[in-house]
Structure 1
Amino acid sequence: MTYALQTTSLVKKFGGFVATNTVSLNVEAGARHALIGPNGAGKTTLINLLTGFLEPTSGEVILNGDKVTHLAQHQRVKRGLARTFQINRLFADLTVLESVVMAVNERLGLGARFWQSVGSHTAAVDEAVELLERLRLLDVAHETTRNLAYGKQRLIEIALALAAKPSVLLLDEPAAGVPTIESRELFETIAGLPREVTILLIEHDMDLVFRFADRISVLVGGAVLTEGTPEVIAHDPKVKEVYLGEAICD
């Protein structure tokens, strides 16, 4: 079995508070793996440890078989790890196409030329157009990002992450703040991404999680309570007790 992303006994302490408690996680290559749990369970802290935004107190982070525990965020991106955030971080005054071309140029080492005409980087434009088509954004390519519906903005953020050509994509609550109809379309688009990209997802909408994930880890109190297929998690009495509740699972 090949793992794209792993942690071994990962601990993060803030003074006397243990935010992440000996978390060992194995995300298979090509998986759609969801990380769920109540508020304060340590999910975002774990994502921040995976991406290098936070330094662990102890334990290891392993990306595609290599230890990256002490690498900086940009070094992990170059190794194939990209993320989105709970609140989108977009170039509000740029068009969708300009935004994605800029992200592609950044990967190609052309970030300093962002001021040049989009059309002057043909290869970057072609790649950006292909990404927008995959994410069903081609029809809004020339729209300014600030003018788009929030669901579209979340997809643009995913496009910017994918422009880094990651092997592992971390999605931190992509449906947060997105209306129900738009969130379903959002997840249909994410589900259509090629399996060459492994996805680790944090999401509170359990309907979306159970439709999307093929593996779920439940985090409670900074530790992994259990892990399994959606069917196993939905009927696990411990999970029902501490998080999901009978009404959701039955």
Structure 2
Amino acid sequence: MSTVLQTHELVRTFGGFVATDHVNLAVEAGARHALIGPNGAGKTTLINLLTGYLEPTEGRVVLNGEDVTRMAQHERCRRGLVRTFQINQLFADMTVLESVAMAVAERHGLGTRWWKPLAAQAEAVDEAAQILQRLGLLSDAYERTRNLAYGRQRLIEIALALAQRPRVLLLDEPAAGVPTSESRELFEVIAQLPREVTILLIEHDMDLVFRFAERISVLVSGALLVEDTPEVIARHPRVRQVYLGEG
């Protein structure tokens, strides 16, 4: 498999504090890759460096063979690197279909025409409906976002990300704040996404991580401790000590 997202000796400091410490990460095309570590390990900082929200102090970020280290967030998004956030960022008063169709229209450069009725945006609406069907959200298409259960709202955020047609999808704690019954459903939907979409996720629920991920990277104090299969990670003594709470 080819590598679609890679970091080379990536460093981010805040004053004298090293948040990201010479991280070399490689995510393969089509991967289901998880990034785990204790609180304060630097996981979200690393995601922010990958997406361009933060600039590194040292090192490089490479997307599909192209150095994007100094590239703006929207340019990385256009090249297929799309993220979700730990706290969802949705249009609460819009219907689910309106939200996703608007995201599709924005990708086509039609965002400034969004004042027109839905009927005038037929192509965007059709594509949005296909995305909703894939995520099991079509029955909620005409519901206002604020009226849906939180687990469904997290799916809407993923739908908005898919509207950008990502090649690499970064999920920052997609199950955060979601009840257990809904989080399992959420991950079942994520697991069914096509392999054309590479997934890198941060998640604290180890049961979900070990059922979903095929590759796991463990971050401790901003540095990459180990990367391997879930089976190896589960038995790794240092991981069990620093993350799973074993002495």
| Both proteins in one fold, TM over 0.5 | yes
**Structure 1 residue 245, shift from structure 2 partner:** 3.2
Query: Following the alignment from structure 1 to structure 2, what is the Cα–Cα distance between the partners of residues 164 and 102?
Result: 11
Match of 1:174, SS state, is coil
Match of 2:24, SS state, is strand
Aligned to 1:235: 235
Aligned to 1:42: 42
Aligned to 1:14: 14
Amino acid at match of 1:179: P
Query: Matched residues, percent identical?
Result: 74
Match of 1:217, SS state, is strand
Aligned to 2:128: 128
Amino acid at match of 2:203: E
Is the aligned partner of 1:201 residue 2:206? no
Amino acid at match of 2:35: L
Aligned residues: 247
Query: Following the alignment from structure 1 to structure 2, what is the Cα–Cα distance between the partners of residues 28 and 150?
Result: 31
Aligned to 1:64: 64
Note the alpha carbon deviations across 1:154-198, whole angstroms, 9 max, x for none: 000000011000100000000000000000000000000000000
TM-score (norm 2): 0.99
Query: Following the alignment from structure 2 to structure 1, what is the Cα–Cα distance between the partners of residues 114 and 49?
Result: 30
Unaligned runs of 5+ in 2: none
Note the alpha carbon deviations across 1:67-111, whole angstroms, 9 max, x for none: 100000000000100000000000010000000000000000001
Match of 2:243, SS state, is helix
Unaligned runs of 5+ in 1: none
Aligned to 1:106: 106
Query: Following the alignment from structure 2 to structure 1, what is the Cα–Cα distance between the partners of residues 119 and 73?
Result: 30
Aligned to 2:147: 147
Moved more, 198-207 or 107-116: 107-116
Query: Following the alignment from structure 2 to structure 1, what is the Cα–Cα distance between the partners of residues 114 and 203?
Result: 33
Aligned to 1:191: 191
Note the alpha carbon deviations across 1:136-157, whole angstroms, 9 max, x for none: 0000000000010000000000
**Structure 1 residue 114, shift from structure 2 partner:** 1.6
**Structure 1 residue 246, shift from structure 2 partner:** 4.4
Instruction: Give me the CA root mean square deviation.
Output: 0.9
Q: Which runs of 4+ in 1 moved over 6 A?
A: none
**Matching of residues 165-180 of structure 1 within 5 Å:** 165-180=165-180
Aligned to 1:26: 26
Match of 2:9, SS state, is strand
TM-score (norm 1): 0.98
Query: Following the alignment from structure 1 to structure 2, what is the Cα–Cα distance between the partners of residues 117 and 190?
Result: 31
Query: Following the alignment from structure 2 to structure 1, what is the Cα–Cα distance between the partners of residues 119 and 80?
Result: 27
Query: Following the alignment from structure 2 to structure 1, what is the Cα–Cα distance between the partners of residues 192 and 210?
Result: 16
**Structure 1 residue 52, shift from structure 2 partner:** 0.2
